[in-house]
């Protein structure tokens, strides 16, 4: 969305990104490295591209091959297992190989600007590690925050003072090239970003904890932020600068933030492994949905994501798409693409 909006369709982007899907997609905690895939193609000695025919090695899962199949861009694997030193090396090699006209570091939500002690912060590690590496790169990098507050980690009010100039405001037209992807991709922050670009406003329940995220006019905006200011604010990023392993980054996260998000995934994966399989009974699901919606409505919630619905209705990740199809077919008027609209019902 950002590439098309800022640069047009003439030159396609190379998107360097983690293979780190939620447990709904990848039951193995933490990020995947190159050894967790077959069919990758070398771009540089340390960087591999993920083509459409690449496959994660079971039991791992990944959305990257399907993204590569449906979008025109080149997806390259950002591997964090050698800490900031390894990520910096990947960036240096890729910049040397591509000689790009521009380099944008994009974060949806703004938790890359976290200090580390915020009580609502849940997943600082990947952002801090990337920030630490980018600040060591001898090349101009523009830090962009899209959809400030939309990841449910840092409230918009906490970010206003550090957000720089407005770079772009997404519109319905900007979402059209990725509409088919949003039908299946589990990213809640991107779903809310697209929904706000399409004019959706209200309060959205997200994640397993059911956090309420405001959908406001700030939702579809993209702001530039000073890279050095972000580093001076982000204590975990500063600590990660000299790391050579992912374990070191985790240790710093536990010391600074009080936890590692990979520990959370390990604990949740162990819990999910012990849960008995469930069947998707349409009648029972729709009855539970009524209860869920009544509870949410009483708390002023207007929307939710299909990821949150899947967990709230005690279904597993493999049933998310079946649930989506059931609900959209049953109540198409409540599909506020790509979110589920909790309508106001008469007494």
What confidence tens digit (pLDDT) does each residue in 179-222 have? Answer: 999 999 999 999 999 999 999 999 999 987 768 999 999 999 99
Q: For the segment 55-106, what is each residue's pLDDT rounded down to a tens digit?
A: 999 999 999 999 999 999 999 999 999 999 999 999 999 999 999 999 999 9
pTM for the predicted model, two decimal places:
0.95
Phi–psi pair at 298, nearest 5 degrees = -65, -20
- Report d(CA 236, CA 145) in Å as an integer: 18
Q: Does 346 score more than 50 pLDDT?
A: no
Confidence of residue 274 (pLDDT cuts 50, 70, 90): confident
Query: Average of pLDDT values for 11-25?
Result: 92
- The rounded distance, in Å, linking the Cα atoms of 255 and 208 is 25
Q: Report the chain's mean pLDDT, rounded to a whole number.
A: 94
Could you give the CA distance from residue 320 to residue 313 in angstroms, rounded to a whole number?
10
Q: How confident is the model at residue 339 (pLDDT cuts 50, 70, 90)?
A: very high
Least confident of 6-15, 115-124, 187-196, 254-263: 6-15
What pLDDT was estimated at residue 109? 96
Q: What are phi and psi of 335, to 5 degrees?
A: -85, 105
Between CA 152 and CA 123 the distance in angstroms is: 10
Least confident of 85-99, 147-161, 270-284: 270-284
């Amino acid at each position: 969305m950002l590439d098309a909006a800022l640069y047009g369709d003439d030159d396609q982007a190379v998107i360097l990104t983690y293979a780190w899907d939620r447990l709904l997609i990848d039951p193995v905690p933490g990020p995947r490295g190159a050894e967790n895939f077959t069919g990758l193609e070398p771009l540089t000695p340390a960087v591999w591209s993920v083509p459409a025919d690449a496959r994660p090695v079971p039991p791992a899962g990944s959305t990257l091959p399907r993204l590569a199949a449906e979008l025109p861009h080149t997806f390259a694997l950002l591997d964090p297992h050698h800490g900031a030193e390894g990520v910096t090396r990947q960036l240096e090699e890729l910049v040397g190989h591509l000689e790009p006209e521009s380099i944008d570091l994009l974060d949806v939500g703004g938790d890359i600007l976290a200090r580390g002690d915020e009580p609502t912060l849940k997943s600082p590690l990947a952002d801090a590690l990337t920030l630490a590496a980018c600040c060591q790169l001898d090349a101009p990098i523009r830090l962009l925050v899209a959809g400030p507050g939309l990841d449910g980690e840092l409230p918009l009010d906490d970010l206003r003072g550090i957000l720089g100039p407005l770079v772009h405001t997404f519109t319905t037209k900007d979402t059209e090239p990725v509409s088919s992807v949003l039908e299946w991709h589990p990213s809640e922050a991107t779903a809310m970003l697209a929904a706000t670009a399409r004019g959706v406003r209200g309060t959205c329940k997200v994640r397993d904890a059911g956090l309420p995220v405001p959908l406001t006019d700030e939702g579809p905006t993209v702001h530039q932020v000073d890279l050095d200011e972000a580093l001076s604010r982000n204590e975990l990023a500063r600590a990660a600068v000299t790391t050579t392993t992912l374990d070191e980054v985790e240790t710093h996260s536990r010391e600074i933030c009080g936890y590692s998000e990979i520990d959370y995934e390990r604990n949740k994966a162990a819990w999910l492994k012990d849960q008995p399989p469930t069947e998707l009974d349409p009648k029972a699901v729709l009855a539970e949905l009524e209860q869920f919606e009544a509870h949410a409505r009483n708390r002023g919630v207007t929307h939710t994501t299909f990821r949150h619905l899947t967990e709230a209705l005690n279904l597993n990740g493999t049933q998310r798409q079946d649930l989506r199809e059931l609900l959209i077919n049953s109540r198409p008027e409540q599909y506020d693409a790509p979110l589920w609209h909790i309508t106001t019902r008469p007494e």
